[in-house]
Structure 1
Amino acid sequence: MKKIYLLGMLAAFMLAGCSSAKTSESTAASETTTVESKVTEETTKAASSDSKTTFTVGFDQDFPPMGFVGYDGEFTGFDLDLAAEVARRLGKEIKYQPIAWDAKDMELSSGTIDCIWNGFSTQNREDKYTWTKPYMKNDQVFVVRSDSDINSFDDLAGKTVEVQIDSSAEAVLKENTKLSDTFGKLQTVADFNTGFMDLEMGGVDALAMNSVVANYQITKRDAEDFKVLDTPLSSEEYAVGFKLGNEALRDEVQKALDEMKDDGTLKTISEKWFGKDVTILE
């Protein structure tokens, strides 16, 4: 009888021990879950806070004078100066994010950047982005070497024409097949710096690009080596592009730009880069 009693007591102690262990494990698991939850919450808050205090601008770093790498190795340019002043007025930290131009939509949709601000033409893109009001006008033009016999569109027949991939000039030429079909070849290049080198070395006969960048590139090189055809390929306007539907941030930026127009800051920055006020913001 004593044996049975002792065995019963032993079994009871063992069950009590298992129950205690399970309770401890459950408590530990609960505490771990609570800690992980707090960490996740804090991380989320930090990310949210960061997104509210920064203004990340996507741009092509090989697109002077709008956005490029200066002699000191720092990002600079007309559009980047405008963006920095807007960020200051919004109480945000400016972040310059260089991007591959043909990946700009992916960068914008993924949230890597807040906007595209780099000589960004609204032409043929009107319904793809949420835009600010245009702040600058521009033409698409052809640049050739000064010793070239190309003086008009007709002279481009049979010639090799180069254009930056996914640029406004490429879009115009794809649409204007009456002209582009006369070319011997229409090829793309990653950036206009490379395009100018190709033109200098005789690898291509003409470069289709926007006039603002063309004139800047020519003045920074030997101006006598290049000429711009008199007739523009097309005309366009520059604006800041946001993800479609992001009116809230667009409105904040537009308000800052309007203030810069009214107090003369827009004019001052334009004169710094172009020697005159080329802005058209109304």
Structure 2
Amino acid sequence: MLNKLKTTLIAGAVSTLALLPLGGVADQLTDILEKGTITIGVPENFPPFGSVGADFEHEGYDVDIAKLIAEDLGVELELKPITSKQRIPFLTSGTVDLVVSSMGANPERAKSVWFSSAYAPFFSGAFAAPGVTGGTIEDLELFKALPEGAELIRFGDNAATLSAYLAGQVDVLVTGNTVATGLVAENPDKALETKFIVRRSPASIGVKSGESNMQQWVNVFVLHKKLGGVLNELSVKWLGQELPDLPSL
């Protein structure tokens, strides 16, 4: 009876193992290399990170990063333009393999997806013409550290803020670095310098939760492009600035 019970247990174990997929746990990186294609989500309309250019082709900092990822993997690239709200749902559902869409890493988002080391600078700051001094407000909260005699003027949206700066109604522009870059691109005579940074939120590449091999590869990719000067070239090309120090995970 004992031998019969042992035989039954062994047979049951063998049957269970036969139902498991060959090769163990699925690995996204291996799957991508085998199928020869990667789908990457990029900004739908958020220049200079991603938008439709004059030739009706998608272009921008994040688009160039996506192209480099596919090139280094040796696979074909399928670009998937997405909105900010689609970034995490598309990643968790498997609609895209990676998200390269100026997404900042934070604890709340990290509950759903994983992140790479930062690959692009993104921050809110105070910008002004080269002759305007930043005073003594570096590294301090803006509203608590305005110099004596300074007047703070708030506007309802970016368009109104930019119009006021271009019209000379304000001397210092407080906005995102990408907005400031776009203003200079459209108005070359309006030189701007970063006087101080209000808040940093560098962009990371979004990776599906649990895909440790893919996250490791992406981190090596970011490090390789940083050390090789490629990220600096893209920063100058699209953001109009040298690449600052970026945090690593």
Same fold (TM over 0.5): yes
Q: CA shift at 1:242, angstroms?
A: 1.4
- Does the aligned pair in 1 maintain the 2:124–2:176 contact within 8 Å? yes
**Match for 1:210: what amino acid?**
G
Say if 1:123 and 1:140 are closer, same or farther in 2 by CA, change over 3 A. Answer: farther
Say if 1:247 and 1:230 are closer, same or farther in 2 by CA, change over 3 A. Answer: same
Match for 1:210 among 176, 179, 191?
A: 176
Match for 1:69 among 20, 43, 52?
A: 52
Match of 1:113, SS? coil
CA distance in structure 1 between the partners assigned to 2:95 and 2:34 by the alignment: 10
Match of 2:79, SS? strand
- Does the aligned pair in 1 maintain the 2:117–2:222 contact within 8 Å? no
CA distance in structure 1 between the partners assigned to 2:85 and 2:34 by the alignment: 24
Per-residue displacement from partner, 1:182-220 (whole Å, max 9, x unpaired)? xxxxxxxxxxxxx5379649xxxxx98531x11222023
Q: CA shift at 1:272, angstroms?
A: 3.2
Bigger radius of gyration among the two: 1
Q: CA shift at 1:230, angstroms?
A: 5.3
User: Would you say 1:273 and 2:241 are equivalent positions?
Assistant: no
Q: CA shift at 1:74, angstroms?
A: 0.3
**Match for 2:180: what amino acid?**
N
Q: What is the 5 A alignment of 1:134-153? A: 134-141=118-125, 153=143
**Match for 1:95: what amino acid?**
E
Per-residue displacement from partner, 1:112-135 (whole Å, max 9, x unpaired)? 112221222124556233111112
- Does the aligned pair in 2 maintain the 1:270–1:276 contact within 8 Å? yes
Find the counterpart in structure 2 of residue 251 from structure 1: 216
Say if 1:276 and 1:89 are closer, same or farther in 2 by CA, change over 3 A. Answer: same
Give ranges in structure 1 of 5+ residues lacking alignment: 1-47, 145-151, 163-194, 202-206
Say if 1:84 and 1:216 are closer, same or farther in 2 by CA, change over 3 A. Answer: same
CA distance in structure 2 between the partners assigned to 1:79 and 1:53 by the alignment: 21
Q: What is the 5 A alignment of 1:1-282? A: 52-123=35-106, 125=108, 127-128=110-111, 129-141=113-125, 153=143, 159=154, 161-162=156-157, 195-196=158-159, 200=163, 210-211=176-177, 213-222=178-187, 232-274=197-239, 277-278=242-243, 280=245
Q: CA shift at 1:223, angstroms?
A: 6.2
Q: Percent identity?
A: 24
CA distance in structure 1 between the partners assigned to 2:196 and 2:227 by the alignment: 34
Per-residue displacement from partner, 1:25-79 (whole Å, max 9, x unpaired)? xxxxxxxxxxxxxxxxxxxxxxx67984222221222211111111111011112
Match of 1:94, SS? strand
Say if 1:95 and 1:263 are closer, same or farther in 2 by CA, change over 3 A. Answer: same
CA distance in structure 1 between the partners assigned to 2:190 and 2:229 by the alignment: 36
RMSD: 3.8
**Match for 2:78: what amino acid?**
K
Could you state the TM-score of these two structures normalised by the residue count of structure 2? Answer: 0.60
CA distance in structure 2 between the partners assigned to 1:263 and 1:86 by the alignment: 15
**Match for 1:79: what amino acid?**
D
Q: Greater helix share, 1 or 2?
A: 1
- Does the aligned pair in 2 maintain the 1:141–1:232 contact within 8 Å? yes
**Match for 1:78: what amino acid?**
Y
Say if 1:230 and 1:278 are closer, same or farther in 2 by CA, change over 3 A. Answer: closer
Aligned length: 192
Match of 1:119, SS? strand
Say if 1:137 and 1:68 are closer, same or farther in 2 by CA, change over 3 A. Answer: same
Q: CA shift at 1:274, angstroms?
A: 4.2
